[in-house]
Amino acid sequence: MSTRLDATVAVTHAEDLVFRLRERARIRRQIPSRKSVQEGAPDRIADLLEEAATEIETLRKTNSDNSWIINPDRMGQ
């Protein structure tokens, strides 16, 4: 069953996921023992984490703009 509550739960989860992805990228960039930090080089994994967070936000906004109802039970099908 697809309801507005399903969409709210999915958006809340997405916001949490976006926060966690960005937070993990921030933490990776601050670990002093990491070679990329020592060399001042970009951290490719941290960059991918942030890119994924941005893509999730974009998709979430697109879904919201289109008034789509997200049903977590059907995700991945």
- Please check whether residue 50 is in contact with residue 58, taking contact to mean a CB–CB distance below 8 angstroms: no
**Residue ranges of the chain whose pLDDT lies below 70:** 1-15, 68-77
For residue 38, tell me if it sits in a domain. Answer: yes
pLDDT of residue 14: 57
pLDDT of residue 40: 92
For residue 56, tell me if it sits in a domain. Answer: yes
pLDDT of residue 51: 97
For residue 48, tell me if it sits in a domain. Answer: yes
pLDDT of residue 71: 63
Q: How far apart are the first and last CA of the chain?
A: 15
Structural domain containing residue 41: 4-64
For residue 39, tell me if it sits in a domain. Answer: yes
pLDDT of residue 76: 58
Tally the domains of the chain. Answer: 1
